[in-house]
Structure 1
């Protein structure tokens, strides 16, 4: 029993740290602390999602190494946060968290298998996005919830720094700059280079939103920062040069504008599309290099 409990605990801590593409128990613990610092109800939703996604993967017999690494936890945790943000901790909402968490594990298993067997593009948070859109379609309340949690901010030194930290925090729907600072500390603990790129992505995203005419309260709430932050983080993990993360930041900003035009909540889809575009471009460049005569 202690062995099973410790395995489950490691899987869940790694699962929440995988939101930031890390496998680090201390990072996971600090992330949970940041969520609880902002909203204990959101913490409960994240833990419920983590538990549902991890246990369902366990029961379905998915590879134990993948489960312990946290690959079946992070999408479920994000769904738990999103559904709790929309619906609170009502019994039906908790049931929806568990169901979508289990479904996210099934979708994630399919994506992982295709990536490994057919060299498909990595899924990242795709199962969260698809199931999140489904949950939002059923509830239709995300936009009003986000607006209700958007306080007034001023564009000064501290306001800009707070906005950048909110951009990091909005990866997990956290609008408190203290929570964002705690998440940044968690990333520093796991990977300092990843932490710096995450901060850069958030800063550029917010700066470009201001240049594009967004109101100061809207830009400094961090909603324009989290997709560029995630794209910079993900691409910095596999590319040593600064070119790929910088390109990912720009593409994530462009894709976010595209979703704004569609009127569709972007969630983390701009980050996914930006990473896919950079990866496909790199593969095409490699193919052209192989075809050229030596």
Structure 2
């Protein structure tokens, strides 16, 4: 009986942990989380390990803090998972980087939890963005070694297909289009609508970037698509009203593209800040336009 209880708890905890990784794409799905972790491992075992350690840290902290509801759906894990990935993108995968993953993941998860308790506006990835910006500033100020920039893999699938898939994978800093394909498959396992909105958002921004004459190398790396993927998913469940079901996700995706370009022109690291700004703005407009809001 005790072995069965332990196995049951271990399986339940594993699902919660994977949901935290799935929530990187706003999906509380263990199946999605498993494929997303596999996508990170496809590109880099260090990134997969940091992602898992970050999610584990945030999930354990959330459960210890009594946030059973948030932990159950993965809300205490995803900012920690993203922060773990961010550490490996900023610093080389050595003792310093690994020693920072858990503390920074804990800080990101704590900040997200505190935000949710005090505000009706979702924090999304804001704690990860703020903490990773601080890490970047500290690394530059202390002249710490920086992680090497890897050459993007080219499986020869054509620029458009690779740009679209990288736009999905870059949410997790994955620039291998095969890793992006695994991410898209994971979203489809979570819900086919998530995969559809992610693919459409990435493709829409790829097309818009081409029409606007934006740098083709950035477009091919998916740098114009990943914020749009998150914005479209966050706004997919907003009440459509008179504008139609896809109006708000498309508006959020295109606004995130404009904001991303602004960060590029200012030579500032954007991370997922364009997604945050675009989603908060469009969400606010959508809520004000909803009949229920006007009636209230």
1:42 aligns with 2:43: no
Describe the shift of the 1:86–1:207 C-alpha distance in structure 2 as closer, same or farther (beyond 3 A): same
1:16 to 3, 14, 21: 21
Q: Does the aligned pair in 2 maintain the 1:150–1:221 contact within 8 Å?
A: no
Partner of 2:137: 137
1:271 aligns with 2:275: yes
1:249 aligns with 2:253: yes
Report which stretch shifted further, 181-190 or 281-290. 281-290
Q: Offset at 1:152?
A: 8.5
Describe the shift of the 1:104–1:165 C-alpha distance in structure 2 as closer, same or farther (beyond 3 A): same
Partner of 1:202: 202
Within 5 Å, give how 1:149-228 maps onto structure 2: 149-151=150-152, 158-228=158-228
Question: 1:193, 1:151 → 2: CA distance?
Answer: 28
Describe the shift of the 1:102–1:63 C-alpha distance in structure 2 as closer, same or farther (beyond 3 A): same
Stretches of structure 2 that go unaligned for 5 or more consecutive residues are 1-5
Q: Cα RMSD over matched residues?
A: 2.4
Question: 2:12, 2:99 → 1: CA distance?
Answer: 24
SS where residue 237 of structure 1 aligns?
Answer: coil
Q: Deviations over 1:63-82 (max 9, x none)?
A: 21211211011111111111
- Give the TM-score taking structure 1 as reference length: 0.88
1:283 to 272, 276, 287: 287
Q: Deviations over 1:251-279 (max 9, x none)?
A: 11122122223322111111111111111
1:33 aligns with 2:34: no
Q: Deviations over 1:53-97 (max 9, x none)?
A: 1122223x2321211211011111111111112223322211211
Question: 1:111, 1:244 → 2: CA distance?
Answer: 24
Question: 2:280, 2:79 → 1: CA distance?
Answer: 18
Describe the shift of the 1:150–1:248 C-alpha distance in structure 2 as closer, same or farther (beyond 3 A): farther
Q: Number of residue pairs matched?
A: 283
Q: Does the aligned pair in 2 maintain the 1:194–1:237 contact within 8 Å?
A: no
Describe the shift of the 1:227–1:22 C-alpha distance in structure 2 as closer, same or farther (beyond 3 A): same
Report which stretch shifted further, 200-209 or 279-288. 279-288
Q: Offset at 1:221?
A: 0.7
Q: Does the aligned pair in 2 maintain the 1:54–1:72 contact within 8 Å?
A: yes
Question: 1:236, 1:289 → 2: CA distance?
Answer: 21
Describe the shift of the 1:56–1:211 C-alpha distance in structure 2 as closer, same or farther (beyond 3 A): same
